[in-house]
Structure 1
Amino acid sequence: MNLMHRRLCSSAGWAEKVAGWMPRDLADVDLGDDVLEIGPGFGATTAVLVGQVPRLTAVEVDETSAARLEAEYRGRATIVHGDGTALPFEDGRFSAVVCFTMLHHVPSRALQDSLFAEACRVLRPGGVFRGVDSQLSLRFRVLHIGDTMVVVDPGTLPGRLTTAGFDEDPDVAIRSDGRLRFTAHKS
């Protein structure tokens, strides 16, 4: 992340915006009793999730961020330094997997597909994968100058999720705020 992007995502203002979005992002999904969050970054989404689910595990690829999250959420969530494309968890462990505003930071479509396959692998049968990510705009592009920015194409996402092992016909929509939201289920 570039400096401008890091400052935004670590700010109190961003955390406040995220806290406002999260109820809508989660209103229609039952996450169950054991949730995995992939890519919490600075933890704005983790702050909301930790109060809403019985058990939360978060996997963060950035070692410094993972250490900071571990110190902040010790005793309330399990934080693991790891990679969402090679999750260090057994098959069928989680009732839900979530990722919020992080997929565009995964450096290639192939690695995004690996993340989708790993999310499916660690889900229990009947589990749900909920994700939300930003879509391309001028402001979004400017924020990502010098950053990784691989925007997920909503037109190809259903097929990619099905190829990863999720049920046919995942729910993929562009919300009124311009963000992509998807829900996929594992049989």
Structure 2
Amino acid sequence: MPHADLPPSPWITRFEALLQSRAPDGGPRRALDLACGHGRHVRWLVARGWHVTAVDRDTAALASLADLGAALRPLAADLEGAPWPLAQERFDAVVVTNYLWRPLLPHIVQAVAPGGVLLYETFAQGNETVGKPSRPDFLLAPGELLRACAELRVIAYEDGFLSRPDRFVQRIAAVREAPAANAAPPRYPL
């Protein structure tokens, strides 16, 4: 199946209620889909009322999202060879799937606004035994994603093997706590 036709990752859709609970009062909900490719998650988020900044180096892939209109902010950027393009921006949701460039991990975490959520899923060590990617540069070490998100509150984390297709992944759902308005603990719908 061509990548553009793939459905959203079950890891991302699993946390739809968490995403909806992160919406700010008033104003548009702002999401970042980093290394979005052909935008399967961009389309899923826009269909749920989000305004999405879609970042990728592939301008043709970004152009394929033009039908999303005002809900889309496409940004063509070389994430690995240029400065971080979103230094002063924060998002209510940050989504990253099947992408790893370690120097960006601190920027990705910082892009999560107070009260915002990070959903991240990518390949982990062990994947070299079942396919690509197989280079260590593109495979997370055990617990690496968890450590990268240490300043966030982790809601869910997995590190292991998935089948169909066979792959080793790490994935995390984490939130940046908003300043407390009262003493009641926050509720995180799963």
Aligned to 1:132: 121
How far apart, CA to CA, are the structure 2 residues paired with 1:171 and 1:21? 10
1:97 maps to which of 94, 98, 106: 94
TM-score normalised according to structure 2 size: 0.66
**Where do 5+ consecutive residues of structure 2 fail to align?**
24-28, 163-167, 178-190
2:146 maps to which of 158, 166, 187: 158
Residue 74 of structure 2 corresponds to residue 79 of structure 1: yes
Same amino acid, percent of matched pairs: 20
Runs of 4 or more, structure 1, over 6 Å off, are none
Residue 6 of structure 2 corresponds to residue 9 of structure 1: no
- Cα displacement (A) at 1:133: 2.0
Aligned to 2:185: none
**CA deviations over 1:118-170 (Å, ceiling 9, x no partner):** 123333223221112244446851x547x8961122422222233xxx33667
Contact 1:126 1:186 in 2 (8 A): yes
Contact 2:50 2:71 in 1 (8 A): no
Whichever of the two has the greater Rg, that structure is 2
- Distance 1:125-1:159 versus aligned 2 partners, 3 A rule: same
Q: Which letter maps to 2:13? A: P
TM-score normalised according to structure 1 size: 0.67
- Distance 1:19-1:150 versus aligned 2 partners, 3 A rule: closer
- Distance 1:73-1:126 versus aligned 2 partners, 3 A rule: same
| Secondary structure in structure 2 of the residue aligned to 1:75 | helix
Aligned to 2:37: 41
Aligned to 1:3: none
Higher helix share: 1
**Where do 5+ consecutive residues of structure 1 fail to align?**
1-6, 107-111
Aligned-residue Cα RMSD (Å) equals 3.3
How far apart, CA to CA, are the structure 2 residues paired with 1:98 and 1:44? 11
